[in-house]
Amino acid sequence: MRTFFLTVSLAGLLGTVAQAAQVVPSGNRNVEQPPVPGASVRRTKAGKTSFDLKYEKVRDLLRDDDALVGKIKKTAVAYGIAPIHMVGAIVGEHTYNVDAYDSLQSYYVKAASYAGNSFRFAYKSEDVSDFVQRPEFAECDELDDSYRLWTCREDVWQDRFRGKTVGGTAYPNNRFSAVFFQPFYAGQTFGLGQINPLTALMLSDLVHQKSGYAKLDEKDAVGVYKAIMDPDISLAFMAAVIRKSIDDYRSIANVDISQNPGVTATLFNIGNSQQRARALRARNAGGATNWPEENYYGWLVNDRLDELQDLL
């Protein structure tokens, strides 16, 4: 009987080991940094600065602001991730997409400046809250999790509306988030974490569960912008994005990206972690081993990892 139970126990243990996710090796897969997109290069030149100067500015902000680093660490614990992943995302965003402010207080002031604005999520005269009531979105109606709900709606947009004429209305050949969720100009993200409004709506339930912040409502565009611009709340959404990416790669592709901040930073930058995890799973079907690769943004994080880790 002991032999039987021992055999069963060992079989269970070996089964667990066999199912363990493959850990992505540390460092970069690319020897040289992948090309930086032209739009980022142009924005940086227009600001009469350089990527090196922008990197140094955000690095110094983190180095000199103990309160911010403390908030990052506390938030990371709540979401079960290492704080270096959040540091990497902040550094990447402020090196390649926006300039860092000189202090955390400046982010609070900027967030407050939006509080009195009046705007909505809409395309032409149609609010997104009305748009998603169309029959094409009926398949999404039973989904009660914000991530699954808005992912479904984004998929319907992609398949049935993007670049097409429906009911006499021609819709742009552009992302759902760019068409309906950026009332100022396409491509705009906000705040310390540079979170997209649609991403915030997707992750609203997770952030509510982990951090206790109120759930977001697409009918309250001001409330959504307040959440993604307020540094405290924005950090929660950053952590949620990273947590979701790690979980997607583990559950879908059986790959553990939690030890490689360059990979999580890349996914923070390019998004669509579920689809990318599925693509990696397909490439590894049949026993192949392909690792997720960092882009230019994640490459910088891994290249400067020792320096960034010292900030914590």
Whether 237 contacts 199, CB under 8 Å: yes
In the three-class reduction of DSSP (H, G, I as helix; E, B as strand; rest coil), residue 71 is classed as: helix
Residue 269 CA, chain-centre distance (Å), reads 6
Is residue 125 predicted with pLDDT exceeding 70? yes
Tell me how long the chain is.
312
177-200: pLDDT as tens digits: 889 987 554 445 567 878 889 999
Stated pTM of the model: 0.87
Residues 134-163 have a mean pLDDT of 95
237-280: pLDDT as tens digits: 999 999 999 999 999 999 999 999 999 999 999 988 999 999 99
Terminal alpha carbon distance of the chain = 52
Closest CA to 266 of 301, 233, 231: 301
The set of residues, in sequence order, having a beta carbon less than 8 Å from that of 132 and lying 6+ positions away, is 140, 153, 218
What phi-psi label fits residue 168: left (phi over 0), alpha (psi between -120 and 50 degrees) or beta?
left
Q: What Rg do the C-alpha atoms of the chain give, in angstroms? A: 21
Q: Between 167 and 210, name the one with better pLDDT.
A: 210
CA distance 48 to 143: 47
12: pLDDT confidence band, cut at 50, 70 and 90? very low
Where do runs of H (alpha helix) occur along 49-190? 51-64, 66-79, 83-96, 104-113, 128-131, 146-156, 176-180
111: pLDDT confidence band, cut at 50, 70 and 90? low
Closest CA to 145 of 42, 195, 87, 215: 215
Whether 193 contacts 229, CB under 8 Å: no
